[in-house]
């Protein structure tokens, strides 16, 4: 068990060191792909060994349970697709002069380091270590957002660093207060931030301190998850980062940050009652949905459109977490997985459109389905996944979330959320229809698709289709996570 928990952190970290020493080569890029696949394999093996009860390793530092394993699998799938596509993507970037050997080397170092830090964030049993890992993702991705070193990329980088640093500082204050409350409740000093210890002493935490700590953690990690009010970094960062990095950030980083809130919610609920965080999650979730729906209506940029769609989905996930029932948690996790894969396909396809047109403006892109079957087809499938249409998995996850909200007596929140989701749905269909089905002007550039990008897109589409038909063994994993989190309300 210890090896399976350490490998998702150490293997990508080793790949980062090799890239640093050898520079960007196809074999070093392939090594990053292998490291991402290692995360996936370890997650799958762990899924066969864990149930609803957690397993601790390395002296209680690492934790394997249904939630951490689910997140490792999502990280592994998205990272495998993204690093696979990166082989051809960075090759094309070098060919077009958008980066140089130094930039490619930095990309090769930071991408597996990014994967390692996310793996640590979901596997750690100590919320102090989790905070360090999430902060590490900010440092690493800041340089990836500024990969092209243009004025817009550098501006997005600074905005990302400033806003997320404020958010993570707020989360640090919440972490310190949790430590204070746990110590005063009698928790051992050296283990007062361990999740299992916090759960054991949760009922004895001072309600006032726990309420303040919970609010700070909600705002802090909510900022990293793209929730209101610290959401403004998201569209800029996603639009300027390389497409595979945008896929990692949108497809899994937001969910990794939100998983921290899922971890601490049962503890705060036990100390303060379920109403406190439920109210906060509903308010932030609905505000995030409102802003993202309005921005989707007015945006004219394809990558910003995908970023605002990620905000919309994180808002819906926050509202599902507010319900907190086992059905809500299971639906939420299915939603995270399906959204991660579908959004990865969309960003990878969108990256090739940007490469061909040297633009991400929707008005500059049209007739994609007729001009490129692989890009037009994969973007269409990714869009259908994102819209929550059957037979894809987000249709089932949204039905589960809707039912759980109704069962929890949150019909008014469900009605508001569905109205805003309908606005976002309409905007996505309108904007994407212009690109996919419009008539391409004479002299429209060819859409070149490197082999590794095409392979990643095909596999991503296949995973989306399979996940839509059946969740298979994941169903039991989601149920175990729901028992672990939903059962502690």
Question: pLDDT band at 456, cuts 50/70/90?
Answer: very high
Span 38-45, mean pLDDT?
95
Whole-angstrom distance, CA of residue 15 vs CA of residue 37? 12
pLDDT band, residue 94 (cuts 50/70/90): confident
Nearest one of 373, 366, 392 to 302, comparing CA atoms? 366
Answer with the residue of higher pLDDT: 282 or 438.
Answer: 282
Across the range 13-35, mean pLDDT stands at: 93
Confidence of residue 186 (pLDDT cuts 50, 70, 90): confident
CA angle 231, 355, 251 (to 5 degrees): 35
pLDDT (0 to 100) of residue 487: 45
How confident is the model at residue 488, as a pLDDT?
Answer: 40
What rounded mean pLDDT belongs to the chain? 90
Q: 342-380 pLDDT, tens per residue?
A: 999 999 999 999 888 888 888 888 888 888 899 999 999
The tens digit of pLDDT for each residue in 223-241 reads 999 998 888 888 888 888 8
Tell me how far apart the alpha carbons of residues 76 and 183 are, in angstroms, rounded to a whole number.
36
Query: Torsions phi, psi of 355, nearest 5?
Result: -65, -40
| Per-domain residue ranges of the chain | 2-486
Give 314-350 pLDDT, tens digit per residue: 999 999 999 988 999 999 999 999 999 999 999 999 9
Place of tokens 């934790």: 63
Phi/psi at 448 (5° precision): -85, 140
Got the DSSP string for 160-181?
Answer: HHHHHHHHHHHHHHHHHHHHHH
Neighbouring CB atoms inside 10 A of 378's CB total: 25
Tokens read off for 17 = 């060191």
pLDDT tens digits for range 50-86: 876 788 888 888 999 999 999 999 999 999 999 999 9
Element (H, E) at 456: helix 451-469
- What is the pLDDT at residue 198? 92
pLDDT surpasses 50 at 475: yes
pLDDT given for residue 96 in this prediction: 77
pTM over 0.75: yes
What DSSP character marks residue 75?
H
Residue 489 scores a pLDDT above 80 = no
Q: What is the pLDDT of residue 97?
A: 79
């Amino acid at each position: 068990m210890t090896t399976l928990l350490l490998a998702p952190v150490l293997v990508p970290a080793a790949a980062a060191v090799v890239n640093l020493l050898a520079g960007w080569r196809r074999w070093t890029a392939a090594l990053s792909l292998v490291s991402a696949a290692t995360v996936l394999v370890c997650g799958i093996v762990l899924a066969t060994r864990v149930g609803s009860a957690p397993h601790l390793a390395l002296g209680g530092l690492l934790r394997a349970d249904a939630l951490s394993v689910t997140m490792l699998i999502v990280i592994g799938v998205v990272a495998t697709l993204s690093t696979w596509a990166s082989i051809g993507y960075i090759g094309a970037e070098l060919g077009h002069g958008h980066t140089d050997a130094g930039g490619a080397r930095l990309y090769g170092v930071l991408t597996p380091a990014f994967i390692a830090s996310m793996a640590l964030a979901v596997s750690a049993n100590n919320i102090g270590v989790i905070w360090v890992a999430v902060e590490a993702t900010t440092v690493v991705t800041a340089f990836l957002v500024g990969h092209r070193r243009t004025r817009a990329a550098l501006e997005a980088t600074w905005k990302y660093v400033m806003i997320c640093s404020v958010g993570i500082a707020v989360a640090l204050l919440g972490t310190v207060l949790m430590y204070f409350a746990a110590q005063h409740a009698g928790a051992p000093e050296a283990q007062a931030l361990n999740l299992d210890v916090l759960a054991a002493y949760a009922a004895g935490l001072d309600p006032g301190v726990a309420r303040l700590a919970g609010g700070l953690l909600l705002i802090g990690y909510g900022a990293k998850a793209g929730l209101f009010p610290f959401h403004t970094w998201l569209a800029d960062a996603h639009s300027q980062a390389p497409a595979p990095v945008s896929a990692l950030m949108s497809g899994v980083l937001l969910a990794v940050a939100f998983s921290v809130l899922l971890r601490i919610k049962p503890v705060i609920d036990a100390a303060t009652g379920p109403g406190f965080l439920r109210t906060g999650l509903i308010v932030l979730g609905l505000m995030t949905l409102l802003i993202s729906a309005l921005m989707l209506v007015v945006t004219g940029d394809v990558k910003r459109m995908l970023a605002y769609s990620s905000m919309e989905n994180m808002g819906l996930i926050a509202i599902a977490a507010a319900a907190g029932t086992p059905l809500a948690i299971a639906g939420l996790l299915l939603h995270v997985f399906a959204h991660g894969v579908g959004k990865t396909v969309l960003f990878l396809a969108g990256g090739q459109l940007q490469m061909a047109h040297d633009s991400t403006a929707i008005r500059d892109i049209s007739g994609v389905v007729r001009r490129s079957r692989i890009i037009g087809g994969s973007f269409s499938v990714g869009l259908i996944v994102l819209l929550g249409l059957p037979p894809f998995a987000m249709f089932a996850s949204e039905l589960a979330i809707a039912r759980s909200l109704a069962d929890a007596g949150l019909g008014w929140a469900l009605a508001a959320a569905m109205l805003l989701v309908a606005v976002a749905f309409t905007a996505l269909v309108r904007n994407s229809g212009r690109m996919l089905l419009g008539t391409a002007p004479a002299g429209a550039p060819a859409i070149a698709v490197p082999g590794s990008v095409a392979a990643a897109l095909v596999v991503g589409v296949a995973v989306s289709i399979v996940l839509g038909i059946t969740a298979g063994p994941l169903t039991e994993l989601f149920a175990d996570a729901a028992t672990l989190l939903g059962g502690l309300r």
